[in-house]
Structure 1
Amino acid sequence: MPDPVTRKIIHIDMDAFYASVEQRDEPTLRGRPVAVGSPAARGVVAAASYEARAFGVRSALPSITALRRCPDLVFVRPRFEVYKAVSRQIHAIFADYTDLIQPLSLDEAYLDVTANRAALPTAWATAKAIRARILAETGLNASAGISYNKFLAKLASDHRKPNGQFAVTPEMGAAWVETLPVSRFHGVGPVTAAKMKRLGIETGADLRARPLAFLEEHFGSSAGWYHAIARGEDHRPVNPDRVRKSSGSETTFDRDLIDPAEIEAGVLRMADDVWTWCEKAAAFGRTVTVKIKFGDFRQITRSRSHPAPVADHALLRQASLDLVRSIYPPETGIRLVGVTVSNFGGDGAALPLFDGS
């Protein structure tokens, strides 16, 4: 059902957050391609400046590949305590405008400003004021998306990056979604986007043209979400009490694998993806789970809980390898592997998405 009151939601996303903090604090890095992470052979890029992105350097990219694409790339070790401190500054700014703040990580959040605490004429003006405060108080740029729901606000914040903002009004929402590639939609990852492409679905218009029954046949429980967002619909409220219970990544191989080296390479890639999120969110869990799907679609998982949070990249990699090695030799070829970290917090409780302590 339509919301009785049209919400005013802002999605704030800091621009190249980690790398921008490093460039702010070290003037010699400004204007240069910078990657936050380790240049080691098995290192992974946690964040990249816009100068580095021009060379195709992105987060989660193996460091050796990043250096191949950009030989002048400067690696900087991450300083998560600094990033968390800056994030707290930003969160304090948000709190002057609304109580309804749902952080997604250290550098992005949803804000529901329907109540208009700041008495500004529009949500657009509110977003501009917030971005100006962030720049004045932290020296960092932020982009913003403004819309009547979370899905569209998040899409909009990416539309004028860096250091811009974009609004999607109720009158334009559904038509605007139709013009976008589905690969940009929240909840449509690379694997799903590839599957949609095989089914002839490449844009929002293509997705909207498919009946719900078709989507249910091919996408199961996710069909309702895809059906709604193709029409610009998302009735989820901004939830300041939301917690994240796990973070995971998985990949489907081009062919079923038997060779341990190939299987483990896939597991390590997924562990690296998860580690990138853990670092970005400054969230570390005690339980590591590896998911294995065989060529016959039979699925198993192997988990291990550690006495302390897995706060070391190498430890997560090794834990993931130990778990997949526990099923050797595989009974048949493996088509998919995944790695998940859960059990956040020392007491096993779920971890808030924002560390406001």
Structure 2
Amino acid sequence: MSRKDLGARRTSGAEVDDATATILHVDMDAFFVAVELLDRPELRGEPVIVGGAGGRGVVSSASYEARRFGVRSAMPMTRALQLCPNAVVIGGHMHKYREASERVMAIFRTITPLVEPLSIDEAFLDVSGATRLFGGPGEIGARIRERVVTETGLTCSVGAAATKFVAKLASGKCKPDGLLVVPEDDTIPFLHALPVGALWGVGEASEERLRSRGIRSVFDLAHTPKEALVRLVGRASGERLHDLAWGRDPRGVETERREKSVSHEQTFAVDEPDHAALEREIRAQADAVGARLRRAGLTARTVSIKLRWADFTTITRSKTLPEPTDLGRVLFRAAKELFDAAHDEGRPVRLIGVRAGELAEPGGSAALDLWGEAAGDEAWDAAERTVDRAVERFGPGVLRPASLLGRGERRDGREGLTERANSAGDAPAPKP
């Protein structure tokens, strides 16, 4: 989960009266670092950081020893090494994390078929049907922790509660390598003792806004009139936060999880001022996003771009498409339109990204457009699927649009073909 202030660490034993706490959230501890230390056990107990070591490197994961110095995920590596100059930096190895994740998830599925992976290193489990075989939720949580460390050498933290939201808070509260069971009757006391920033959807800005009105704890928020919350943070957020503060979360464990978006982004080694070069990067990202949509059998209805300038100012812009698509060409047209409207010519760009949202399985029939830009999309669809087959057989880069030929030949450090894929299971996204 994202970095939240949950107060002092708290654990419980497996013997807690927990018949109602049948939703488990299992979260691996400092997962990327822990996997790397399997091959480098001599670094145990040392401050270790996994991430990019270059000037634009970002922390993906930090050992708990490094975190004591203030190192956090998503922090620029230069800042992390200022805080902890003796840290050992290790580059990420995604294939190792995927293999470890598969082994861990397989353990979960021997306990219950109701497993909902949230990312490469965390999942929800519904163990209501497993209690006859394995005992209460607390005993099951203890069993999972024991098996994970025995069979993989990794540790995990387990939260058990009556709802997904509280189970996830519980796993964060007992980190690292802990177990915390929150029976249903204890849900409100558990929640109301937490700082308001623990609630999902309360970021730095909204937390500051709430605190300025004297709302410092979940108890304070729960006892604030709903309409007052709505005036502070908006209708949707106000109503959702009020429900969460009273433990209301009707969501069940979903074994088939659909991605909400697919995206790629690139942080340049040197800030890129050239509009044409940035446009080529957008084209490459749009093609990569389209290919991933086709592999997943999904289409997208919205396209967004993300721009971060040299001064770290960041904006996003979005557009709804006339028809859902999985074509890179269509995604690029929309992304280019957004980029042209948002980019200040000559202003150096630090990061650029393309995201496809409102995903769904293809269905229905597209509107017929004989004269507009979409008239050639049917032929382009066949072309992109031909590229998919060629890439599958011969590897990336074997075919690409003419506008992208020659990429990678520059020597100024700016070029980089959309190496960061942002979707569960793809790239080592920063983790707490």
Give the TM-score normalised by the residue count of structure 2. Answer: 0.60
What do residues 188-220 of structure 1 show as CA deviations (whole Å, max 9, x unaligned)?
A: 222222222223221111111112222223322
Pairs within 5 Å for 1:295-310: 300-301=317-318, 307=328
Pair 1:227–1:300, CA change in 2 (3 A): same
Superposed, 1:36-55 pairs within 5 Å as 36-55=50-69
The correspondence for 1:290, drawn from 294, 298, 306, is 306
In the alignment, does 2:176 pair up with 1:162? yes
Indicate whether 1:217 and 2:231 are aligned: yes
Q: Distance in 2 between matches of 1:190 and 1:85?
A: 35
Q: After the TM superposition, which residues 61-80 of structure 1 pair with which residues of structure 2 at under 5 Å, given as runs?
A: 61-80=75-94
User: In structure 1, what is the equivalent of residue 250 of structure 2?
Assistant: 235
| Partner SS for 1:13 | strand
The equivalent of 1:60 in structure 2 is 74
Task: After TM superposition, give the deviation of residue 341 of structure 1 in Å.
Answer: 3.0
1:40 offset after TM fit, Å?
1.2
SS at match of 1:158: helix
CA–CA distance in structure 2, aligned partners of residues 160 and 300 of structure 1: 38
Contact 2:305 2:317 in 1 (8 A): no
Write the mapping of 1:117-132 to structure 2, written as runs, cut at 5 A: 119-132=133-146
Residues 1:205 and 1:321: Cα distance change in structure 2 (over 3 Å): farther
- Equivalent positions of 1:119-158 (< 5 A) are 119-158=133-172
Aligned to 2:26: 12
- Cα RMSD, aligned residues only: 3.8
The 3-state SS of whatever aligns with 2:25 is strand
Show the counterpart of 1:26.
40
Partner in structure 2 of residue 296 of structure 1: none
The answer as to whether partners of 2:21 and 2:183 remain within 8 angstroms in 1 is no
> Do residues 115 (structure 1) and 129 (structure 2) align?
yes
Query: How far apart, CA to CA, are the structure 1 residues paired with 2:339 and 2:54?
Result: 24
CA contact (8 A) 2:261 2:423 kept: no
Match of 1:208 in 2: 222
2-structure distance, mates of 1:321, 1:33: 43
SS in 2 for 1:145: strand
Helix, strand or coil: the match of 2:173?
Answer: coil
Aligned residues: 295
Match of 1:277 in 2: none
**Structure 2 gap segments, 5+ residues each:** 1-18, 264-270, 273-294, 309-315, 330-334, 346-350, 362-383, 389-421, 427-432
Distance in 2 (alpha carbons) for counterparts of 1:338 and 1:213: 38
User: Amino acid of the residue matched to residue 41 of structure 2?
Assistant: P
CA contact (8 A) 1:98 1:117 kept: no
Q: Show structure 1 runs of 5+ residues with no match.
A: 249-259, 262-282, 293-298, 309-319, 331-336
CA distance in 1, matches of 2:51, 2:196: 30
What whole-Å deviation, never above 9, does each CA across 1:176-196 have from its counterpart, x for those lacking one? Answer: 111101111222222222222
| Higher Cα radius of gyration | 2
